[in-house]
């Protein structure tokens, strides 16, 4: 693998195991293909409760792999509870994965269908762990909500994020991004699948309770095209196809909270 991981021919997902053996040796890697008929309805799963304080939004950054909004998680102000998780998990950041063209680009796949992008809202268990870094290495440390994006009509909820992308075209660029409630990005119904998995980027720690929403949100063709103008490492390497393909399920159980 070349110097650092990425999504290219020389440093993409098939090479990650060279430096991160868990990529091939792990038993709970993500993403996965969800086959709905093989999932199990669990009536004990309560509804998700997202309690986000818009003033915790801090900044928007191009980290060279994705575009990410970071939140102030020093206090318990923006939290996720309910569903498969115990207690409260603090919102740390959200970011997206997308394809070079419409119709692929999501990380999770449902019954053979990929979506054009996937939003990840990353939360950590501050009740149990002292820092995000420690939580990210613990089996119950993180809870990530995955939301599919389907190319259809214009999505006004994405407008502000997308209009800010011009300011973070290059790797390491960061701008202030305040007063934003990511709840506005979610679909009206929060029906979900849940399973135990991993980070989908190196170091691929097996620390994530995944919550994948069944219903996608919309994005227009013009809107998603703006994500593809961001740069991975320079103007010759535009940020697209920044997704990992599905990994072996290895007998894991995928639960759902809907009939
Ligand atoms: Zn992600």
**Cα–Cα distance for residue pair 141/238, rounded to 1 Å:** 32
Strands 79-82 and 48-51: antiparallel
Domain membership flag for residue 101: yes
| Domain count along the chain | 1
CATH number at residue 190: 3.10.200.10
Annotated catalytic residue 65:
yes
Catalytic pick from 41, 65, 97, 123?
A: 65
* The two structure tokens encoding residue 148: 């599919």
Q: How far does the centroid of ligand 1 lie from the alpha carbon of residue 243, in Å?
A: 8
Q: How far does the centroid of ligand 1 lie from the alpha carbon of residue 87, in Å?
A: 23
Domain membership flag for residue 52: yes
pLDDT tens, position by position, for the chain (259 residues)? Answer: 556 999 999 999 999 999 999 999 999 999 999 999 999 999 999 999 999 999 999 999 999 999 999 999 999 999 999 999 999 999 999 999 999 999 999 999 999 999 999 999 999 999 999 999 999 999 999 999 999 999 999 999 999 999 999 999 999 999 999 999 999 999 999 999 999 999 999 999 999 999 999 999 999 999 999 999 999 999 999 999 999 999 999 999 999 999 9
**Cα–Cα distance for residue pair 36/235, rounded to 1 Å:** 40
Name the residue range of residue 175's domain: 13-256
Q: How far does the centroid of ligand 1 lie from the alpha carbon of residue 121, in Å?
A: 8
Q: How far does the centroid of ligand 1 lie from the alpha carbon of residue 196, in Å?
A: 15
* The two structure tokens encoding residue 110: 């449902």
**Cα–Cα distance for residue pair 231/123, rounded to 1 Å:** 26
Domain membership flag for residue 220: yes
Q: Residue 90: which residues within 8 A CB-CB, separation 6 or more? A: 73, 76, 77, 78, 79, 123, 124, 126
């Amino acid at each position: 693998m070349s110097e650092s991981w990425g999504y290219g021919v020389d440093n993409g997902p098939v090479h990650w195991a060279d430096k991160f053996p868990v990529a091939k040796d792990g038993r709970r890697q993500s993403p996965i293909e969800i086959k709905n008929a093989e999932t199990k309805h669990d009536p004990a799963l309560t509804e998700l409760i997202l309690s986000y304080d818009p003033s915790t939004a801090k900044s928007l950054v191009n980290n060279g792999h994705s575009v990410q909004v970071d939140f102030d998680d020093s206090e318990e102000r923006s939290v996720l509870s309910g569903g498969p998780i115990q207690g409260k998990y603090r919102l740390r950041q959200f970011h997206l994965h997308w394809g070079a063209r419409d119709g692929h680009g999501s990380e999770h796949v449902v019954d053979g269908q990929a979506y054009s992008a996937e939003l990840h809202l990353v939360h950590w268990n501050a009740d149990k762990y002292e820092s995000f870094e420690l939580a990210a290495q613990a089996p119950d440390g993180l809870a990530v909500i995955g939301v599919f994006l389907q190319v259809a009509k214009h999505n006004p909820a994405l407008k502000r994020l997308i209009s800010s992308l011009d300011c973070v075209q290059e790797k390491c660029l960061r701008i202030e991004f305040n007063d934003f409630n990511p709840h506005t990005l979610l679909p009206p119904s929060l029906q979900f699948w849940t399973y135990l998995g991993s980070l989908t980027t190196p170091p691929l720690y097996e620390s994530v309770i995944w919550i994948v929403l069944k219903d996608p949100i919309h994005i227009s063709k013009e809107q998603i095209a703006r994500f593809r103008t961001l740069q991975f490492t320079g103007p010759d390497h535009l940020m697209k196809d920044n997704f990992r393909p599905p990994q072996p399920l290895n007998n894991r159980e995928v639960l759902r909270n809907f009939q």
